């Protein structure tokens, strides 16, 4: 039984469910509503149950108690061998709702963000009991748990894979023609939702680092570079006002050289129009680096989270420190000034991610982990 807190994102969880079903696993999925991707889960062969299990949504004690009752009843009736959560909020709910009873429980950690704050890290780890296990989805996350004293017996390692048969370029988009960009201009692209800053974590900029790339491109323009920034991805739920601030900032710094395309369903085709893809996140799992590398696009990322698993300096791309636009400038210039080297890095990166992050391989690895603890 998998607990998923959203039907509007987390497509990596849907891909995983598809593979598990193909491998013969009976999968029940608990979703907060019947919208968005719900029909896709049903089409994948999962049994869908509608119940909000994100503890952040259950602020009133009465709401939590009602959800707890409904969840325990669901577990009693379906009798899953394992409970599998993909988010901090659903993990805490799962643990508090079940206590020390029921099947074993897995938290597949989608990224290290909550582990980078002492309070949220301690709350999550200390809420775990004898029935709880973890599956890291990047090396950095696994090391944080190890350093916190969690034994290797309790920690698996499985990436959230990509379905490369579905994610491929079909009709490459000529961004220069469609956006009116000069043929001589370099196109630097970024694909990411816009998340608002979490002020309780001390953030002043969103964790995807949009403003950092805008600043870097502004510096490049002042250096005399003919360059255009293409930003794909709109506001994540609740970040609409912040996204408008990012749009305004981009136009202030870059004027007509900033192009915000919003949410698109042709991302693979858009990547074909990038000379360089940049992922300037402040915290991340593997993020969009997997997609840009898989499609053979020269890739620059920050040195955070899971990026170093696939972006290997001098081999598959460029790593720079987070929150330092000047470092991004140096990497972007290097990639643009040495196009043959950049293409070679991208080729090697494509081979690496297609070997490491094939969703079918990752699904088999997860099933093996299920069997090892069930």
Distance CA 188, CA 172 (A): 16
Q: Which residues does 137 contact at the CB level (< 8 Å), separation at least 6?
A: 108, 109, 110, 111, 157, 158, 159, 160, 285, 286, 306
Cα dihedral value 9, 15, 18, 21, nearest 10: -100
Residue 244 predicted with pLDDT over 70: yes
Q: Which residues does 289 contact at the CB level (< 8 Å), separation at least 6?
A: 277, 279, 299, 301, 307, 310, 311, 317
The model's confidence at residue 216, banded by pLDDT at 50, 70 and 90, is very high
Q: Which residues does 57 contact at the CB level (< 8 Å), separation at least 6?
A: 5, 32, 63, 89
Q: What is the pLDDT of residue 146?
A: 97
Residue 64 predicted with pLDDT over 90: yes
Residue 44 predicted with pLDDT over 90: yes
| Digit-coded pLDDT (tens) for 153-165 | 999 999 999 999 8
Give Cα separations from 210 to 110, 217, 244 (angstroms): 21, 11, 12
| Digit-coded pLDDT (tens) for 121-149 | 999 999 999 999 999 999 999 999 999 99
Residue 48 predicted with pLDDT over 90: yes
**Secondary structure string (H, E, C) spanning the chain:** CEECCCCCCCHHHHHHHHHHHHCCCCCEEEECCCCCCHHHHHHCCCEEEECCCCHHHCCCHHHHHHHHHHHHHHHHHHCCCEEEECCHHHHHHHHHHHCCCCCEEEEEECCCHHHHCHHHHHHHHHCCCCCEEEEECCHHHHHHHHHCCCCHHHEEECCCCECCCCCCCCCCCCHHHHHCCCCCCEEEEEECCECCCCHHHCCCCCCCCHHHHHHHHHHHHHCCCCEEEEEECCECCCCHHHHHHHHHHHHHHHHHHEEEEECCCCHHHHHCCCCEEEECCCCCCCCCHHHHHHCCCCEEEECCCCHHHHCCECCCEEEECCCCHHHHHHHHHHHHHCHHHHHHHHHHHHHHHHHHCEHHHHHHHHHHHHHHHC
Least reliable range by pLDDT among 163-167, 301-305, 366-370: 163-167
Residue 201 predicted with pLDDT over 70: no
Distance CA 22, CA 163 (A): 13
| Digit-coded pLDDT (tens) for 270-292 | 999 999 999 999 999 998 999 99
Mean pLDDT of the chain: 95
Q: What is the pLDDT of residue 59?
A: 87
Instruction: Give the mean pLDDT of 178-199.
Output: 93
Instruction: Give the mean pLDDT of 112-129.
Output: 94
- Selected residue with higher pLDDT from 327 and 169: 327
Residue 151 predicted with pLDDT over 80: yes
Q: Which residues does 221 contact at the CB level (< 8 Å), separation at least 6?
A: 227, 254, 257
| Digit-coded pLDDT (tens) for 71-98 | 999 999 999 999 999 999 999 999 999 9
Least reliable range by pLDDT among 103-107, 224-228, 235-239: 235-239
| Digit-coded pLDDT (tens) for 96-109 | 999 999 999 999 99
Distance CA 116, CA 199 (A): 14
């Amino acid at each position: 039984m998998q607990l998923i807190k959203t039907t509007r994102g987390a497509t990596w969880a849907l891909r995983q469910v598809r593979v598990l079903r193909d491998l013969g696993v009976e999968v029940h999925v608990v979703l907060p509503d019947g919208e968005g991707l719900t029909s896709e889960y049903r089409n994948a062969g999962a049994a869908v149950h509608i119940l909000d299990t994100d503890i952040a949504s259950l602020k009133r004690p009465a709401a939590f108690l009602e959800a707890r009752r409904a969840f325990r009843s669901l577990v009693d009736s379906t009798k899953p061998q394992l409970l599998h959560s993909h988010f901090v909020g659903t993990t805490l709910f799962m643990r508090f709702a079940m206590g020390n009873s029921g099947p074993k429980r897995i938290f597949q950690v989608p990224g290290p963000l909550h582990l980078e704050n002492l309070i949220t890290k301690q709350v999550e780890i200390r809420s775990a009991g004898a029935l709880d296990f973890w599956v890291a989805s990047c090396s950095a996350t696994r090391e944080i748990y190890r350093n916190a004293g969690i034994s290797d017996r309790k920690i698996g390692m499985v990436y959230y894979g990509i379905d490369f048969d579905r994610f491929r370029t079909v009709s490459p988009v000529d961004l220069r023609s469609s956006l009116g960009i000069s043929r001589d201009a370099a196109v630097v692209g970024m694909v990411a939702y816009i998340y608002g800053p979490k002020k309780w974590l001390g953030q002043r900029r969103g964790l995807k680092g949009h403003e950092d790339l805008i600043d870097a491109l502004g510096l490049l323009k002042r250096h005399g570079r003919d360059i255009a920034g293409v930003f794909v991805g709109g506001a994540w739920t609740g970040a609409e006002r912040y996204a408008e601030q990012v749009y305004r900032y981009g136009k202030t710094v870059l004027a007509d050289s900033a192009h915000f395309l919003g949410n698109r369903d042709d991302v693979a085709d858009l990547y074909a129009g990038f000379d360089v893809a940049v992922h300037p996140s402040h915290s991340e799992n593997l993020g969009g680096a997997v997609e840009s590398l898989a499609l053979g696009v020269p890739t620059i990322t920050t040195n955070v989270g899971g990026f170093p698993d696939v972006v290997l300096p001098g081999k598959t791309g460029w790593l720079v420190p987070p929150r330092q636009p000047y470092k991004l400038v140096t990497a972007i210039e290097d990639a643009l000034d040495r196009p043959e080297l950049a293409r070679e890095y991208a080729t090697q990166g494509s081979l690496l991610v297609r070997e490491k992050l094939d969703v079918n391989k990752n699904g088999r690895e997860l099933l093996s982990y299920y069997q090892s603890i069930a």
